[in-house]
Amino acid sequence: MRSNEEQIFDEYIRSTGLRETEQRKRVLKTFLATTEHVSVEDMYRIVNEKSRKVGYATVYRTMKLIAESGLAVEVVFNDGIARFEHRLGRKHHHHLVCTNCGKVIEFESTAMDRGEQEVLAKYKFRQTSHHYEIFGFCRECQSESRDG
């Protein structure tokens, strides 16, 4: 039985005139099974762990299609690497990014969300999207720098 996400992706693929291939299905299922922010390189490695049947270009194009279908959003942190995170059924959140080890911590803040709405209203600005990341050092990296 296909999941809601698989149906959404299939409908999007068909609407663009593309075919639903086994390789695209494999990339989608692998992405849906992830919980982290994954780059195309990460996805390529994970998809091909058991056998090398999906090329890098296919993984790249499929991840772009997954984002275009609304199932993922592409985020770029301070290292310049595009990563994908799940979008469907996820609450709005922000990111804390460790500049030492690359760890990403997701957090929610109603206070920040209210402040954002106040700024939008004040300037009569219609938002289409935004990303909010705070860069610094995670607890473990702070401990390591104190210990050493």
| Domains in the chain: boundaries | 1-90, 91-148
CB 45 within 8 A of CB 39: no
User: Would you state the CATH architecture of domain 1-90?
Assistant: Orthogonal Bundle (1.10)
Q: Give percent of the chain with pLDDT exceeding 70.
A: 95
pTM of the model: 0.72
Mean pLDDT, the chain, rounded, equals: 88
User: Would you state the CATH architecture of domain 91-148?
Assistant: 2-Layer Sandwich (3.30)
According to DSSP, residue 5 is labeled H
Within 8 A by CB and 6+ apart from 109, the residues are: 94
User: What interhelical angle do 56-68 and 4-15 show, nearest 10?
Assistant: 100
Does the pLDDT of residue 117 top 70, yes or no? yes
Q: What is the pLDDT of residue 132?
A: 81
Does the pLDDT of residue 90 top 70, yes or no? no
Distances (CA, A) of 11 to 61, 71, 109, 137: 17, 12, 34, 42
